[in-house]
Amino acid sequence: MSDTPHYGDAFARWRAGAPSWQAYTRHRFVEGLADGSLPHEAFLHYLKQDYVFLIHFSRAWALAVVKADTLGEMTTAAATVNALVNEEMQLHVGICAAAGIDQATLEATAERSENLAYTRYVLEAGYSGDFLDLLAALAPCVFGYGDIGLHTAATRSSDKYTDWIETYAGDDYQGLCVAVGELIDGALLRRLGDGYADLPRFAQLQARFERATALEVGFWDMGLRP
């Protein structure tokens, strides 16, 4: 069912252990997308901030290519960079253009501190830690949007934000979530063995996942304050 999407074993554990997950994926901003109550101004403000976010998020996925241990890990991470730079960012450019925001305006967006906090946290986790630290910090965004896509598609009562909802509820994005879930589960097994969830290392990764989830809550809060 939509409330518990299946993106692998590590995600199921991390989500269950993240106190902020509900506040993130059922945020007032999210419910406003589903029922159409979100002011259009807030949506456009969010899109502009999210464009800046995606630049740094793409950089973080590129760092995953650098930090991968196997060719398979590298290839999946490189494909994600590509999807972000050449597809998801273009989608934003398109939605924004339709709303009268041109690319120059998008690129000139002043980065809000909630946005900066989140992306620099993820990048620094990646630089200072290893591939697993980076993936744990990247996971809440990837999987949360998958969860939110399914939830808003299942509960929506307005057509106002249908394009956005269908992007994340759609097969392409859901397939990406499954692939990233497999990447993470495989990376954990390859490094920590099949008892990975019992190791102190996993608790550290859990803490990274929760921290990034809490930063997502801050991002939605910021989205409501154009």
Where on the chain is the footprint of a copy of itself (CB under 8 A)? Answer: 55, 58-60, 62-63, 65-69, 71, 74-75, 77-78, 81-82, 85-86, 107, 113-114, 116-117, 120-121, 123-124, 127-130, 133, 190-193, 198-201, 204, 211, 214-215, 218
- C-alpha to C-alpha distances, 188 to 8, 136, 202, 212, nearest whole angstrom: 12, 11, 9, 19
CB 213 → a copy of itself: shortest distance, Å? 12
- Give the alpha-carbon dihedral of 76, 215, 43, 113, to 10 degrees: -110
CB 196 → a copy of itself: shortest distance, Å? 9
3 phi, psi to nearest 5 deg: -75, -20
CB 53 → a copy of itself: shortest distance, Å? 14
Query: In this complex, which beta carbon is closest to a copy of itself, that of residue 43 or of residue 61?
Result: 61
CB 9 → a copy of itself: shortest distance, Å? 17
Question: What count of residues does the chain have?
Answer: 226
Query: In this complex, which beta carbon is closest to a copy of itself, that of residue 9 or of residue 130?
Result: 130
CB 69 → a copy of itself: shortest distance, Å? 8
Query: In this complex, which beta carbon is closest to a copy of itself, that of residue 107 or of residue 172?
Result: 107
Query: In this complex, which beta carbon is closest to a copy of itself, that of residue 121 or of residue 166?
Result: 121
CA-to-CA distance for 6 and 87, rounded, in angstroms? 24
CB 125 → a copy of itself: shortest distance, Å? 8
Query: In this complex, which beta carbon is closest to a copy of itself, that of residue 1 or of residue 71?
Result: 71
Query: In this complex, which beta carbon is closest to a copy of itself, that of residue 34 or of residue 187?
Result: 187
